[in-house]
Chains A and B, each alone.
Chain A
């Protein structure tokens, strides 16, 4: 008999989702599926609109990472205009993108995930949130708020507002950086770096406590994909795609992202609105790969900034060159944040960052454009086709959460097999299922363009198809 248990407070993921766990006639878990149940259809909304509107329309996909969509969309538009932004314009886009990386990673780690890590997955859900964190570890909570503010303030100072700034435009950015703004941002960098480093020390001190979770939170062999620069170091704004397998071998390197359709397939399943992107050479569904902070620190040779490189070395000493567990997204996310804060400072201290030439103007010079960047959650692709007047005829968005969909499904199954022991769901079990999804920091609004409040539903289904238990958050 189906029963519904309502749990308050609500869950800590972004978007609507449902999980079904299938049992065999012995009551053992045989399958699990992560369903994303909403649809928004931005690819269709884009049709018929002028290309210059694309960055701002696409930014509306998400209120958390609008800058990522601004970047990928503007880069696709750059190709349609057949222009390269002036170097200063490109660097200013980089600064805002990295600020976005910091603020979104901070939200994921401090606000959404650290309560689990501080209190444990079996703790009272009423305590296991940012308010509980504030009471139990005020320094960590304050650092979380401070680091997120650091990223959000940079976005606001550069673009005029924190959410959906329209400063990043096709061809570059719409205004140069003032000396005053540069100095103001630079003055906030040291404290941001110090706060991130405090969080890294705290995280490393508790890492061994989570060995059991790390062994079952999506611990499997898969490929990893991310952008790297010419030297093979991490690059969030530009660069070429690198794909590494579970043994550290390069499956592909220096792939021009505009050739993504040669390498990546997109499968559609009837039980979810989230497409499953797969590595074509391995086929579907075997071509599972992961993107995001963990993938970035794995595929890159080095991060490329001093402090982040020290942390990356330690990460590799502790976990190996290609750690298989998605639990380590948290650790990687912290290193990613540290790199971003350091790189923001490097870019702002560049000799040309205040130059007034920040935007290239051009008409429609190509009928197709593909833009790629590293969003907080992983590689983001925007692909548009336009008519000769620049009106969008077709659009395809490949979102980080789509890249990770196969891996998330596999992770949910692994957690379910490890923790589901009966035909009854318990809150700690639900929390672990949720937490493994949270490792990926999925943005369901981005990936399916879902609309609405956060929700997670878990169904336990017996071998006859009967719903044995159900939890709704």
Chain B
């Protein structure tokens, strides 16, 4: 039997099942919390820090995607401080690499662009880094432009958790961190990649894209396979 918790989010009383995350409960109740590394159907890593919320009684901010609800929690999802943090994080996601929306394959289909718009970011206050970052276009169907990668690692998780190929991994640390295929093997020479394209579909920006797509043509039309598979795995679709 499922235990039901009662808690408060932004002053409203809500009910939640045991084992649900704050993010899941907030979403169920129509409360929007910004996310980037989270994607329904994949495990959560709390790496982007955009979904941080305030929990009464705690002196530190809490990631909503990986924190499970408890009885009597009092959660604040929107405050001046949280908004400022989210704006700064988003700005840093842009500035760490080279994002130029106007000539990006994902223009108008980009979650980072949408987030910036939602947070009303129209200029950057932090210095621009403009690192020299490469492109791997060796795969016949797909390419990765590291200039646009925000290290959400959705590609790493979907490849491992859904496709089971474990092609994608992470190399380096800090600002030198990169997602790589097969320990740094060029993607086109990868012995494990099944060319399924799931990594392209889950990428929130234009970092992963189909070869031959021009500007603004990188929509993620095939993404619905994810929640279906996840729910199937949990037995929720087997009724």
Q: Which residues of A contact B (CB under 8 A)?
A: 48-50, 52-53, 55-57, 60, 164, 166, 169-170, 174, 361-363, 389-391
Contacts and interface: CB of A to CB of B under 8 A. Distances in A.
A170 B214 contact: yes
Given A48-B135, A56-B103, A60-B103, 15 more contacts: A48-B134, A49-B135, A50-B135, A50-B143, A52-B105, A52-B213, A53-B103, A53-B215, A55-B215, A166-B215, A166-B216, A169-B214, A170-B214, A361-B212, A391-B135
B164 interface: no
B100 to A, nearest CB: 9
Contacts of A390: 137, 211
Contacts of B214: 52-53, 55-56, 166, 169-170, 174
A390 B210 CA distance: 13
B217 A391 contact: no
Interface residues of B, number: 19
Contacts of B213: 52
A49 B138 CA distance: 13
B140 interface: yes
A276 B102 CA distance: 31
Interface string B35-78: 00000000000000000000000000000000000000000000
Nearest to B188: A389
A391 B103 contact: no
A57 B212 CA distance: 15
A153 B103 CA distance: 22
A166 B138 CA distance: 25
B145 interface: yes
23 contacts: A48-B134, A48-B135, A50-B137, A50-B143, A52-B105, A52-B211, A53-B103, A53-B105, A55-B214, A55-B215, A57-B103, A60-B102, A60-B103, A166-B215, A166-B217, A170-B214, A361-B212, A362-B212, A389-B137, A389-B138, A389-B143, A391-B135, A391-B137
Nearest to A81: B212
Interface string B196-216: 000000000000000111111
A456 B103 CA distance: 31
B102 A363 contact: no
Contact of A50 (B102, B140, B145, B216): B145
For the complex of A and B, list the 10 residue pairs with the smallest distance between their C-beta atoms, beginning with the closest: A389-B137, A56-B215, A169-B214, A166-B215, A56-B103, A52-B214, A57-B103, A166-B216, A389-B138, A53-B103
Contact of A164 (B102, B145, B212, B217): B102
A52 B102 CA distance: 14
Nearest to A387: B137
B21 to A, nearest CB: 38
Most B CB contacts (10 A, CB to CB) among A49, A164, A363, A389 go to A389
A56 B137 contact: no
A160 to B, nearest CB: 9
Nearest to A390: B137
Nearest to A169: B214
A389 B143 CA distance: 9
Contacts of A170: 212, 214
A58 B108 CA distance: 20
A390 B103 CA distance: 17
B211 A363 contact: yes
Contacts of A363: 140, 211-212
B133 to A, nearest CB: 9
Interface string B90-134: 000000000000110101000000000000000000000000001
A79 B134 CA distance: 25
A128 B213 CA distance: 47
Given A50-B137, A363-B140, A56 B102 contact: yes
A50 B217 CA distance: 14
Contacts of A49: 135
Given A52-B212, A164-B102, A363-B212, A174 B217 contact: yes
A14 B105 CA distance: 30
B41 to A, nearest CB: 29
A164 B137 CA distance: 25
A170 B188 CA distance: 23
A371 B209 CA distance: 25
Interface in B184-239: 188, 211-217
A391 B139 CA distance: 12
A392 to B, nearest CB: 10
A389 B139 CA distance: 8
Contacts of B138: 389
Nearest to B134: A48
Most A CB contacts (10 A, CB to CB) among B211, B215, B216 go to B215
B110 to A, nearest CB: 14
A362 B137 CA distance: 15
A70 B202 CA distance: 30
A369 to B, nearest CB: 15
A387 to B, nearest CB: 9
A174 B188 CA distance: 27
